[in-house]
Amino acid sequence: MRIKIKFYARFQEYFGSEIIKEIDNNSSDTLKNIAKSVTEDNPEGQAFIFDDAGNFYDYVILMKNGERIYSDNADEIFVEDGDEIRIFPPVSGG
């Protein structure tokens, strides 16, 4: 299956604006695991998304197909072929 992951603001500096992830069709995975696997090549950037315990920081905003996913639930949300995930930090400057 094929999943599109889009990054914004500071996260874009580490991961680019978009990653297409190909996953074996027989497997299914959670939003959290997918996000971890696509960011693992860049530990510095990953450290802004996941805390030491491996959970999303509570300020990280997650969307799946345009719908808000609260980071606490990212363990239970499964992604499917064609899904689009967006991961972004709120920007805070003014």
Partner 1 sequence: MFSKQELDRYKRQILSFGEEGQKKLKDAKIFVAGAGGLGSPISIYLAVAGVGTLVVADKDVVELTNLNRQILHYNRDIGKKKTESAEEKLNALNPDIRVEVLDVTIDESNVSELVGDSSGIVDGMDNFPTRYLLNDVAIEKNIPLFHGAIRGFHGQATTIIPGKTACLRCLFPKAPPVEVFPVVGVTPGLIGMVQATEVIKYITGEGELLKNRLFIWDGMQARTEEIQFAKNPACVSCGNLMNKE
- Binding residues (CB under 8 A) for partner 1: these are 8-10, 12, 17, 48, 57-59, 61, 63, 66-68, 86, 88-94
Task: Report the C-alpha gap between 77 and 43 in whole angstroms.
Answer: 24
91 with 7: CB under 8 angstroms?
no
Q: Residue 41 CB, nearest distance to partner 1 (Å)?
A: 21
When the beta carbons of 54 and 66 are compared against partner 1, the nearer one is 66
Task: Report the C-alpha gap between 41 and 28 in whole angstroms.
Answer: 21
When the beta carbons of 1 and 63 are compared against partner 1, the nearer one is 63
Q: Residue 50 CB, nearest distance to partner 1 (Å)?
A: 13
